[in-house]
Structure 1
């Protein structure tokens, strides 16, 4: 089956409404249009991927006419990740945070979300995305449109119709499928198929409330299981989830993967046990 090109994701969702309903939806879209989109990018040794990714992000927002900012959290990189981010800040609105030492993905996501919330107004949208150039920035406009239409959180999903994964190592495919099966059985969540995707759009108000409810424990996991951790906590807030089809392009990735697959499996199982059976850390 042919897959949609990245440029097709720039097209707004087609309405199947009566004329009066279309007018109301149009007015609602204007009313809830965000003042800006704030990107939060966790980065660790991404000097090979970051320049092209930032260029693609700039092109995506130029095509969509959405105002935006980019928060890059450098997690103690030993390469030129921070230098590249600083240089690119003269060309686009980038805010760089740096960890002196590598703290892990969870802490990096938490700090990025904290900074994004501090910069966000109530109508703004926060987008998290991997910094390794595997996520297509062209999908942002579609995700924002879905939030305009009522979603609180939109997940870029490999399992949504039209989504796929290209060039992903076999063990990571098994991890994703296994995690999906376990979360679907133990924590079925309407509108969610991909529980571990790091590419998401959130209403800023949802993340702000999440921090108000949980503090730093909103992102309590340090490793790659942190994205599922966030989802389970937001699930308790009663937020409305939606998914947009993600074409994960692992073949675009520069540098080596930072994921330790077996460690991630163990941490994910522990996360499931804690949330399902009340087992403490």
Structure 2
């Protein structure tokens, strides 16, 4: 008897992505059907204010391989992913951004790396054009990711694949952290890693860093235990991120400029962190699910 085809569960975090989800579903399904793989598409609506949930519900009603999870409020991309990972059941768990900046047609090559024995695989973007804010954030993350054994070239790439054992290890670790710390924990825990180079172009959508998400990420990252040489990199990363946040806050309210300084934004972020009760902890613990669609609702 022939072995069953590999199965792939792809988790898509989506906030206000109503315009792209129908095409994403079509292109993703075609790419995996071409390989003969069975698949699930799990779309996590991260507190959208447009018609994202209505589109997800429609897709789930038309295709029994599609499911949706609706979160009560925006919790951040990595928290949305953690919620989706807990619902995924397949030989490989994949991640794809909901805005189609990364091509669904590139995902099978990354999934194939995991099917070949790699525990974590990621796209690495080549010749991509991005606004300055994203370039600064990426440069900061590259410094920070020196604390992982694999040192990925492109931590923020929107196409990744994992062995489910890796996802389970990190999801079940109460010290893994939420938000950005969860992403670091995946890379630190992976026993093997590979990258697949893709081309990618920024589509012009604005880049947003919600204060609550920024506060959670900074607080979780600042609490991580890191090797001695990496602590200086962490201080530099927090300083750059803090300075960026101070500039943004000062534009909204000039009175905040008086608090500016290299560590001003970190202070503001940690203050918000205290206000919202966000704490490092088990991945996905800050996200509240209010509705499910498709096979997850049955």
CA distance in 2, matches of 1:128, 1:64: 18
Candidates 56, 66, 87, aligned match of 2:37:
66
Aligned to 2:50: 79
Aligned to 1:23: none
* 1:51 corresponds to 2:51: no
TM superposition score normalised by structure 2: 0.66
Deviation at 1:165, TM superposition (A): 1.4
Aligned to 1:165: 128
Aligned to 1:242: 194
CA distance in 1, matches of 2:198, 2:210: 23
CA distance in 1, matches of 2:190, 2:21: 35
CA contact (8 A) 1:191 1:242 kept: no
Aligned residues: 229
Candidates 136, 152, 160, aligned match of 1:200:
160
CA contact (8 A) 2:82 2:171 kept: no
Candidates 196, 208, 211, aligned match of 1:258:
208
Aligned to 2:136: 174
Deviation at 1:268, TM superposition (A): 5.3
Aligned to 1:98: 70
TM superposition score normalised by structure 1: 0.70
Aligned to 1:190: 150
Aligned to 2:115: 148
CA distance in 2, matches of 1:266, 1:100: 17
Greater shift after overlay, 188-197 or 142-151? Answer: 188-197
CA contact (8 A) 1:127 1:200 kept: yes
CA 1:269/1:248 → structure 2, altered by over 3 Å: closer, same or farther? farther
Deviations 1:28-48 (A, max 9, x none): xx98x8631001011111112
Unaligned runs of 5+ in 2: 232-278, 281-298
CA contact (8 A) 1:61 1:68 kept: yes
Candidates 54, 63, 80, aligned match of 1:108:
80
CA distance in 2, matches of 1:87, 1:155: 30
Structure 1 segment 110-149 matched on structure 2, within 5 A: 110-116=82-88, 119-120=89-90, 124-149=91-116
CA 1:188/1:114 → structure 2, altered by over 3 Å: closer, same or farther? closer
CA contact (8 A) 1:165 1:249 kept: yes
CA contact (8 A) 1:34 1:125 kept: no
Larger Rg: 2
CA contact (8 A) 1:157 1:243 kept: yes
Deviation at 1:134, TM superposition (A): 0.9
Could you list the runs of 4 or more consecutive aligned residues of structure 1 that deviate by over 3 angstroms after TM superposition? 234-238, 255-261, 263-270, 277-281
Deviation at 1:259, TM superposition (A): 3.5
